[in-house]
Chain A
Amino acid sequence: MSVLSAATRAEVERHRDRYPQARSAVLPSLWALQNQIGHVSPEGMREVSEILGLAPSEVEAVASFYAMYLDRPGGRHHVLVCVNVSCGLRGADDIVAHLERRLGCPSGGTSADGEFTWEHTVECLGACGGAPAMQVDHHFHENLTPERVDAVLEAVRAPSARAGGDRS
């Protein structure tokens, strides 16, 4: 059985045909794969490579270079906390300590209920004007305090409020 759904397969084909060279479609195709199954699996990458006319190793070598492609399944939501300088100067370490307590696992881990995989990163997220900041499922949340972190996690956990970031 194939990993890629018909829709994902069509998306990869669309990317392949969009660029002057099919190889350029590797990054967007890996995103399509990850958006469907939550990470980039070897089987999924093999299917992507077939569509793009590349060797599987060529796609895997690219995937392993970029920090945002996840090589294994994680929690239902992904939390990324910045600890670079601007966030560090405004209390990112407190946010990190709070998340570790709240989710009961160290950075890189997944909460016992399977809801959240979280990690801190030195990669500046580009939210220094709203430091300290984090992203949940790629949406920005800024000017964090431990209380705000709790509110964001609760809102994300509730299925009705799953979309959209905010920076208030």
Chain B
Amino acid sequence: MAEHRLLTEHFGMEGIQTLAGYERAGGYQGLRRALRELTPDDLVAQVKASGLRGRGGAGFPTGTKWSFLPGDVHPRYLCVNADESEPGCFKDRALIEGDPHQLIEGTLIAAYAIQAPIAFIYIRGEYFDQRLLLERCVEEARAAGYIGRGILGSDFSCDVIVHGGAGAYICGEETALLDSLEGRRGQPRLKPPFPAVKGLYGQPTVVNNVETLSNLPHIVLRGGSWYASLGTEKSKGTRLFCCSGHIERPGTYEMLLGTPIRELLEEECGGVWKGRRLKAFQPGGGSMQVLLPEHLDLPLDMEAVAQAGSALGAGAMVFMDETTCMVNVSMRLVDFYHHESCGKCSPCREGTYFESDLMHRLERGVLAPEELTTLSDICDNMNGKCFCPLGDTATWFVMSAYAAFRDEFEAHCGAGRCPVREPRAAEAVA
């Protein structure tokens, strides 16, 4: 079985980045149908029936999230999370570039479902051309009456504002996103209250990922039960998997959930590059635990991957061949979390600092063996004890790699150099 193209069906189609091209491909019919034939409550029911779960990482059921909004409090807001900064993740960028109006249509459908007068698309600062593209598409959609007052002759009005971030991974965390959107430093808020109750400007707010929302036109047009027939028992539909690292054909591939990971690797990605063997992979982006070749037969299913001790997370698959140094990979990830820690809570702020220091010394081969215990202790004191998941996940890859490749970590201690990487590669880093 090959790719299953639902969200990516129109990728590469002539003119798809324009309103005319999107309409030629059947675009905005989902919004039209929703406004004409469905009440907001019907829509919430359809999305619940579809089994759609959030694609931002946590996999929370989308319809259920919408139904948490208190009935009588207005205005409510919709925030589209396009902050995509998870290491290895580039699917939201692909969806924005590949079919921007699909996202805008999904956004308007969600805004109608929750009766939000404004939807904000929060896009990371690095996606500069992508932001300009979305802004242009929003203006096109506004001129055609899909955005604004009385959309398509209905009594539903909604504005869409594209808001650029400025370089902060933490702003992908939904409450930090809200603070950032309010014009503050992007630091997470204490939950509860959850955004559904008190979100943007203290009002009920839904935060949904780009890919989650891009599904909505299809669910509206073909029905929740059709969508629920795709995928596995608890992981419905398709997902875009961002495949990178040591493979022949890196890229995003849309797969039916439930497909074995091996099929994604061997058929779509062309297998491990240079005819080499797979050493390890990360199934859900930089935050998730390492998996091994023996896990390749797992299905692309949230529960199955969780049972194996990792997570599908944001759908980023990073493959590493047999020449990879797991200490080097761990060091890069730890550096990332150190750089991105927002500084609000001490276990994360201080912990990532110490982690980074230890990993750099380990990578250079100058760490004393007993300091590996210090590394474990620090991670123990972070995991589950940080204000938000950033600090927890800063320990997951490195600890899982240490458990799975203990010999490799120990061999670095006192070696004076990296004992794994080819000397030439090691020199380039030094």
Complex contacts, B251 vs chain A, CB 8 Å: 129
Bound together, the chains give a CA A166 to CA B339 distance in angstroms of 28
Bound together, the chains give a CA A19 to CA B332 distance in angstroms of 38
Bound together, the chains give a CA A97 to CA B201 distance in angstroms of 46
Complex contacts, A83 vs chain B, CB 8 Å: 332
Distance of A123 from chain B, by nearest CB (Å): 6
Q: Is the CB of B88 within 8 A of A86?
A: yes
Q: Is the CB of B332 within 8 A of A84?
A: yes
- Given contacts A123-B340, A125-B126, A67 and B167 within 8 Å (CB-CB): yes
Bound together, the chains give a CA A52 to CA B182 distance in angstroms of 13
Check if B250 is an interface residue, CB within 8 A of chain A. Answer: yes
Q: Is the CB of B126 within 8 A of A23?
A: no
Check if B355 is an interface residue, CB within 8 A of chain A. Answer: no
B residues 368-398 near A (Cβ < 8 Å) are none
Bound together, the chains give a CA A83 to CA B324 distance in angstroms of 15
Check if A26 is an interface residue, CB within 8 A of chain B. Answer: yes
Among B88, B125, B183, B335, which residue has its beta carbon within 8 angstroms of that of A24?
B183
Bound together, the chains give a CA A85 to CA B163 distance in angstroms of 28
Q: Is the CB of B286 within 8 A of A85?
A: yes
Per-residue CB contact flags for chain B residues 405-430 toward chain A (1 = under 8 Å, else 0) read 00000000000000000000100110
Among B169, B183, B244, which residue has its beta carbon within 8 angstroms of that of A62?
B183
Q: Is the CB of B90 within 8 A of A23?
A: no
A residues 45-71 near B (Cβ < 8 Å) are 52, 61-62, 65-69
Complex contacts, B186 vs chain A, CB 8 Å: 65-66
Check if B59 is an interface residue, CB within 8 A of chain A. Answer: no
Number of A-B contacts (CB under 8 A): 155
- Given contacts A84-B332, A86-B245, A124 and B87 within 8 Å (CB-CB): yes
B residues 241-284 near A (Cβ < 8 Å) are 242-246, 250-252, 282
Check if A102 is an interface residue, CB within 8 A of chain B. Answer: no
Check if A106 is an interface residue, CB within 8 A of chain B. Answer: no
Bound together, the chains give a CA A19 to CA B183 distance in angstroms of 11
Q: Provide the main secondary structure of the chain B interface.
A: mixed
Complex contacts, B320 vs chain A, CB 8 Å: 89
Q: Is the CB of B128 within 8 A of A23?
A: no
Complex contacts, A97 vs chain B, CB 8 Å: 428
Complex contacts, A139 vs chain B, CB 8 Å: 128-129
- Given contacts A27-B180, A93-B429, A130 and B88 within 8 Å (CB-CB): no
Complex contacts, A140 vs chain B, CB 8 Å: 129
Per-residue CB contact flags for chain A residues 10-33 toward chain B (1 = under 8 Å, else 0) read 000000001111011111101100
Among A27, A88, A90, A123, which residue has its beta carbon within 8 angstroms of that of B164?
A27
| Interface range, A side | 35 or more
Check if B127 is an interface residue, CB within 8 A of chain A. Answer: yes
Complex contacts, B245 vs chain A, CB 8 Å: 85-86, 89-90, 128, 131
Complex contacts, A68 vs chain B, CB 8 Å: 125-126, 166-167
Kindly report which residue of chain A lies nearest to residue B328, judged by CB atoms.
A88
- Given contacts A85-B286, A122-B339, A127 and B332 within 8 Å (CB-CB): no
Bound together, the chains give a CA A121 to CA B167 distance in angstroms of 11
Complex contacts, B201 vs chain A, CB 8 Å: 20-21
Bound together, the chains give a CA A62 to CA B165 distance in angstroms of 11
Q: Is the CB of B332 within 8 A of A62?
A: no
Bound together, the chains give a CA A20 to CA B342 distance in angstroms of 26
Check if B191 is an interface residue, CB within 8 A of chain A. Answer: no
Please report the total number of B residues contacting A with Cβ < 8 Å.
59
Q: Is the CB of A84 within 8 A of B164?
A: no
Bound together, the chains give a CA A93 to CA B90 distance in angstroms of 21
Check if B329 is an interface residue, CB within 8 A of chain A. Answer: yes
Check if B113 is an interface residue, CB within 8 A of chain A. Answer: no
Q: Is the CB of A126 within 8 A of B318?
A: no
Kindly report which residue of chain A lies nearest to residue B87, judged by CB atoms.
A124
Q: Is the CB of B250 within 8 A of A88?
A: no
Q: Is the CB of B161 within 8 A of A19?
A: yes
Bound together, the chains give a CA A90 to CA B425 distance in angstroms of 11
Check if A94 is an interface residue, CB within 8 A of chain B. Answer: yes
Check if A138 is an interface residue, CB within 8 A of chain B. Answer: yes
Q: Is the CB of A94 within 8 A of B84?
A: no
Bound together, the chains give a CA A124 to CA B83 distance in angstroms of 12
Per-residue CB contact flags for chain B residues 88-99 toward chain A (1 = under 8 Å, else 0) read 111011100000
Per-residue CB contact flags for chain A residues 110-154 toward chain B (1 = under 8 Å, else 0) read 000000000001111111111100010011100000000000000
B residues 189-218 near A (Cβ < 8 Å) are 201
Q: Is the CB of A126 within 8 A of B126?
A: yes
Among A65, A84, A89, A129, which residue has its beta carbon within 8 angstroms of that of B185?
A65
Kindly report which residue of chain A lies nearest to residue B324, judged by CB atoms.
A89
Closest 9 CB pairs of A and B: A67-B167, A138-B128, A68-B167, A66-B166, A26-B183, A128-B244, A23-B183, A86-B244, A65-B185
Apart from A86-B244, A123-B85: 12 A-B pairs, beta carbons within 8 A: A21-B201, A23-B184, A24-B182, A66-B125, A67-B166, A84-B333, A85-B282, A86-B250, A89-B329, A93-B429, A126-B124, A135-B128
User: Could you show 28 A-B contacts with beta carbons less than 8 Å apart?
Assistant: A19-B161, A24-B163, A25-B183, A26-B184, A27-B164, A31-B166, A62-B184, A68-B126, A69-B167, A84-B332, A85-B88, A85-B329, A86-B244, A89-B318, A89-B324, A93-B428, A122-B332, A122-B339, A123-B126, A124-B86, A126-B85, A127-B93, A128-B87, A128-B250, A128-B316, A129-B244, A129-B250, A138-B126
